[in-house]
Amino acid sequence: MAVTAQTEQVRAPSFFTQRRWRKLQEFSFGYTLLAPAFILLAVFELYPFFFGAYISMCNWTLDCRKFIWFDNYVRAFQDEDVWHAFFVTVMYSVISVPLQLGLGLALAYLLFQKVRGQEALRVMFFMPYITSSVASAAVWAYLYSPDQGLINFVLGKFGIPAIKWLGEPTGIFNLMLRSSGVTLPWWGEGPSLALLSVIIYTTWVFVGYDIAIFLAGLGNIPTELYDAAKVDGASGWNLFRHITIPLLSPTTFFLLILTVIGTFKAFNHIYVMTGGGPGDATTNAAIFIFQQMFQYNRYGYSAALSFLMFFIILILTVIQNRVASNRVVYD
């Protein structure tokens, strides 16, 4: 039987059913559409990842003429400066995370009520988050200036002497006890005043994002639950404790993971405001890796430190997921 070119069709192989053949065509079309994304992922994500792993096991130069295996990783565990940078990072995270989430939840709960100027307040709190971190950090560094800063200017009106907000490496507890002559060890002196000043800026920037996410979570809580509880005589605190907090736990868990990861990766504003100083008071892990890479040209060592930080963040995320997921209420 003659078949014209216009009506000729490619038949599926005999071992394929028509249904499977159509599915294969659909999958092929889908993967064809995804191919550009896969290529970009391979070029800009996978290749740098594996190349960084390769560099981390080399000597200090990029050409890697000498392969030293895991010597960079061993050195990192023996480097006291690495441990100090990790300690600063942990202290920065331990203070920033509860402060951001607690303040964000409190402000979101207040803004969720019928407050005058509610929309304007929401925009005002969110503005710092969408502002360039480099620009806003530079402005805050000027505000913290001991000579020309607005903060010290206002304090001076009340007879308080100028404070070196970003220039004081001493821990705040030792500053409080300075007049008594008591000096606490490094692990008990608390964060330096410079680090605490950076934390205040960090909270100012990111609390607006937390408020926006918490507001979205509050909007998903059925109002019928509040109405039923009020009929039973529940107080405002009981409503917040037994309804809001449990049903807001998925949102809190989401923000907790993001905030912890963000504090461990913090770089831009710290570099602009202090550069890691004074001394190494604000030298966290990201600043320390940057210094090893661009100041000392220790490419292999900085790559090894980056991978160690990656695994630390990964382990912390897994631990948070295991511990907190059992307390998250999704229904």
DSSP 202-241: HHHHHHHHHHHHHHHHHHTS-HHHHHHHHHTT--HHHHII
Cβ 202 vs Cβ 267: under 8 Å = no
Q: Once rounded to an integer, what is the mean pLDDT over residues 278-303?
A: 93
pLDDT of amino acid 330:
67
Domain range list for the chain: 85-126+196-327
Residue 199 has pLDDT above 90, yes or no: yes
CA atoms within 13 A on the CB side of 80: 1
Give the bridge partners for 58, in sequence order.
67
Q: Quote the CA–CA distance of 102 and 81 in Å, as a whole number.
A: 32
Q: Tell me the CA distances in angstroms from 5 to 2, 8, 9, 25, 167, one per residue in order.
A: 10, 5, 9, 22, 82
Structure tokens at 220: 């998903």
Query: Which DSSP state fits 294?
Result: I
Please check the confidence at residue 10 and state whether its pLDDT lies above 90.
no
Tell me the per-residue pLDDT of 16-60, one tens digit each, with 9 for 90 and over: 567 777 777 677 777 788 888 889 888 888 898 898 898 889 886
- For domain 85-126+196-327, give the fold: MetI-like fold (1.10.3720)
- Say if CB 171 and CB 190 are below 8 A apart: yes
Helix count (H) and strand count (E) of the chain?
Answer: 16, 0
Rg over alpha carbons for the chain, rounded to the nearest Å, is 27
pLDDT of residue 267: 96
Q: What percent of the chain has pLDDT over 70?
A: 91
